[in-house]
Amino acid sequence: MGIGGGAVRGKAGLLSVACLLLLPAGTARAADAVATFDDLVAGTAVSSQYHNLGGPDRGLDFNQAPQPYSSGGAPHVLDVGAGTAQSGSHVAERSFQNCTPEFCAGSIWGHFTYAKQHVSLYVGLHQSSMFSDAPTLKLFDASGDQVGYTGSATVFGGAGYHTQLSVNLPSQQAVYFQVTGGSHSEIAIDDVSFDNPATPPPADFKLKARPLISPGSSATRSCRARP
């Protein structure tokens, strides 16, 4: 079995930190589920609308974070126009309900009832071209321990929502995800996708997979949680 990892930037601003895992023969997988936000009216607070995306309890709920983190508020749907969003015309912008004039603590948090092996989304800034940021996608297990993350990808205001952040894990461990950015950045996301196996693991699956490669390899460093 070959496994590798690293950060890769493609022509469209692709950035991912991945652990490639060969699935055993006969493993049943359904198509990935994707939350596009185009089925929600602009201005809607996104919370449990995608709870059953992909099947009963198989989707995700926004504005839920593990202890001791704070979710920071529900993201809201924006209509940014076709061609600006990764697909359709809607994106979800992080909440600024906890902002002060000097600082915004909000992140975009999501929770999966059934743990996921990979999570991907597109990110951009709802600001003018004079602004930039380097958002990061982090994954957490049911206990709130970080199990995966991407390196940061620089995005610029006015450039659309086409920079992909993606994390692939060795097994289904991700119960929460967090998209973080700078304290004044109006981060918004589009096309949140995740694996939707035909037979999902138990709800809030907590078993952590052991590394399948030697601890000293670069692939292990790219996929393990930060301290």
What domains are there in the chain, each with its CATH number? 12-17+30-206 (2.60.120)
Q: pLDDT (tens digit, 9 = 90+) per residue, 26-35?
A: 334 568 999 9
Q: Which positions ≥6 away from 85 have C-beta within 8 Å? A: 38, 91, 160, 161, 190
The mean pLDDT of 140-165, rounded to a whole number, is 93
The mean pLDDT of 165-187, rounded to a whole number, is 90
For strand 163-168 and strand 15-18, is the pairing parallel, antiparallel, or unpaired?
parallel
Residue that the structure tokens 């996608």 belong to: 137
Contact between residue 157 and residue 131 where contact means Cβ atoms under 8 Å apart: yes
Alpha-carbon distance of 149 to 164, in angstroms, equals: 13
Give pTM, 2 decimals.
0.75
Residue 77, pLDDT score:
97
The mean pLDDT of 191-198, rounded to a whole number, is 93
The mean pLDDT of 138-162, rounded to a whole number, is 93
Please state the separation of Cα 70 from the chain's center in Å. Answer: 16
Residue 140 has pLDDT above 70, yes or no: yes
Per-residue CA distances from 216 to 150, 212, 220, 221, 222 (Å): 19, 12, 7, 8, 11
Residue 130, pLDDT score:
85
Number of neighbouring beta carbons within 10 Å of residue 174: 27
Q: pLDDT (tens digit, 9 = 90+) per residue, 9-54?
A: 343 444 444 333 333 333 345 689 999 999 999 999 999 999 999 9
Q: Token pair of 70, please?
A: 């704070």
Residue 213, pLDDT score:
30
The mean pLDDT of 182-207, rounded to a whole number, is 79
The mean pLDDT of 108-134, rounded to a whole number, is 92
